[in-house]
Amino acid sequence: MNLIHTPAWQALATHAASLRSRHLRELFAEDTQRFTRFSRQHDGLLLDFSKQRITADTYHLLLGLAAAADIDGWRQKMLDGEAINHTEGRAVRHVALRAGNNAPPEVRAVLERMKTCCESIHSGTWRGYTGERITDIVNIGIGGSDLGPRMAARALAAQQQPDLRVHFVANVDSADIAPLLARLNPRSTLFIIASKTFTTQETLINAATARAWLLAAAAGDEAAVARHFIALSTAREQTRAFGIADDNVFEFWDWVGGRFSMWSAIGLSLALAIGWRQFEQLLAGARAMDEHFASAPAADNLPLILALLSVWNTHFLGARTAAVLPYSQSLERLPAYLQQLEMESNGKQTDREGQPLSGIACPVVWGEPGTNGQHSFYQLIHQGGQLIPCDFIALTASDFPLHSHHPSLLANCLAQSAALAFGQTAEEVRAAGVPENLLPFKIFPGNQPSTTLLLPTLNAWTLGQLLALYEHKTFYLGALWNINSFDQWGVELGKTLARRIEPLITQTGDDSAFDASTRGLLAALGGR
Ligand code: F6P
């Protein structure tokens, strides 16, 4: 069903035409209850969307759009395990991974094995091939097999287990793995090869390098591999072919999408970094958000609100990008994680029926932690003339309390969202005594919409809650646009071409099937 032809969409289009020229200054002046009207609290999380360019009418119409798109029906299909990833014939059940006592037996069994594995490494029971204790873990994976655990391990540095360092390698560029191996000791290093398919080129090349490095140190003793390699995968045949013992394989299932997989065995590196109890807290925080997602009425459903605001900003107000600005250094990898989650899920132009969409479903997601971004790209958001909706994410209490740092950080966060919303008028600039010739440069147009998310603090539970919030936003956005958020065919063409090009990089060969630019570049690289 193409939403664009529904009365709800048409009503929003008419409404948007009258609202587009209105300024947040006016909207705030008109409605003294704006913060109360457009903020929601749930389980300690505060979502303030009063600085979005909406009115009560907009909100009402957006909720009508959600109903027209049957978001309740789609959510139920997902929770019931229907194969809503229809192009791959797969169910979408990442919620089941963190369902606690209600999780399927196979999920609980793998979690139990992960727990035992963590305990044996943390306690020093797990030993390397010479009997040394494991001091370093290297997660080798890419995309969904890297971004989640890497981001979360960084975010939860305050919970870092003592005496164990966890590293992440993703890029096929040897500049990623080589300097790391140079400072590690093979006798005390454990590699986790994280790959759902176990066919991903980058991961297999890095894994082969790690294996060769280990075997070189172990005088070719293949038995060493069993003590130093773990696989996280759905592909048992491939893990066996690589030489990883079945006992060291932690499985998950095809109904877990790569970018939704950090709650599965893919989270093992994270669990090792923060400890099993904290990992369980992460799952519990996500579970609490799952319950909210499944049961909160539409008008109070936090992930739905985020998705509806995205449709409003992207389609009706014309934004092309969306910034994620965590005022938390610990969340520095969150924008990268959300890039995959949101853009690989909803960066699509075809609806479920294979028809072209009549709009852009997903903006370009980008961002950096504040306050660093303020000294870099905020100039453009303030005065660059482009509509850039922002998500500000802040913590009421610091995860690393120290002197006056946190009040200063929070003050900057609040100041930026206010400056972006309300700007600075010519009158205000004049009143500040600015000479007339500098006036044009000192005016801030404002009217940049933003949402502020306030977490009580950053810990495993609140992180789980935050990530599940964005996962469900991603789901709702796909449901609103009637797209399949769970496939990613757009990444395949480049992979296929790379396989065809690679032999020509190292050897002369027939390149006539390629375009003139590719041939020219191959020639410059010396491969012809
Ligand atoms: O190329 C994209 C992708 O398929 C992602 O969806 C996935 O997270 C990543 O590659 C890694 O895949 P795998 O876990 O199978 O190695």
Condensed to tens digits (0 to 9), the pLDDT of residues 3-20 reads 888 999 999 999 999 999
Comparing CA positions, the residue from 293, 318, 295 lying closest to residue 306 is 293
- Taking CA atoms only, the protein residue closest to ligand 1 atom 10 is 143
Q: Which among 170, 225, 167, 164 is positioned nearest to 195, based on CA atoms?
A: 170
Residue 308 CA, distance from chain mean position: 18
Question: Would you state the pLDDT for residue 432?
Answer: 96
Evaluate: CB of 464 within 6 angstroms of ligand 1: no
DSSP at 53:
S
What separation in Å is there between the alpha carbon of 259 and the centre of ligand 1? 8
Q: What is the spatial order of strands in the sheet that 189-194 belongs to?
A: 165-169, 136-140, 189-194, 229-233, 249-251
Instruction: Show the tokens assigned to 509.
Output: 């060969």
Type of residue numbered 425 = T
Which atom of ligand 1 lies closest to the CA of 200?
16
Q: What is residue 527's predicted lDDT score, i.e. its pLDDT?
A: 59
Please list the ranges in the chain whose pLDDT falls under 70.
Answer: 1, 527-528
Terminal-to-terminal C-alpha distance of the chain: 51
Question: What is the C-alpha separation between 246 and 234, in angstroms, rounded?
Answer: 12
Q: How far is the CA of 201 from the centre of ligand 1 (A)?
A: 10
Q: What is the pLDDT of residues 156-167, one digit of tens each?
A: 999 999 999 999
Regarding the beta carbon of 200 and ligand 1, being less than 6 Å apart is answered yes
H helix or E strand, kind and range, residue 60: helix 56-68
- From ligand 1's centre to the CA of 58, what distance in Å? 38
Torsional class of 273: left (φ above 0), alpha (ψ -120 to 50), beta (otherwise): alpha
pTM listed for this prediction: 0.98
Q: Please, are residues 303 and 472 in contact by the beta-carbon 8 Å criterion?
A: yes
Query: How many other C-beta atoms can be found within 10 angstroms of the C-beta atom of residue 71?
Result: 21
DSSP state for residue 165 in the 8-state scheme = E
pLDDT value at residue 2 = 75
Q: Are strands 189-194 and 136-140 parallel, antiparallel or unpaired?
A: parallel
Strands 249-251 and 229-233: parallel
450-455 vs 45-48, strand pairing mode = antiparallel
Beta-sheet pairing, 321-327 with 249-251: unpaired
Active site residues: 344, 375, 495
DSSP 3-state assignment of 169?
strand
Helices (H), 222-301: 223-228, 236-242, 268-274, 276-295
Q: What is the pLDDT of residues 100-113, one digit of tens each?
A: 999 999 999 999 99
The answer to whether 152 touches 262, Cβ cutoff 8 Å, is yes
Q: How many other C-beta atoms are found inside a 10 Å radius of the C-beta of residue 124?
A: 13
Asked whether the beta carbons of 24 and 317 are under 8 A apart, the reply is: no
H or E element in which residue 319 lies:
none
348 lines ligand 1 (CB under 6 A): no
- DSSP H helices, 243-364, are 268-274, 276-295, 302-311, 334-338, 345-346
Angle at 209 between CA 208 and CA 211, to 5 degrees: 65
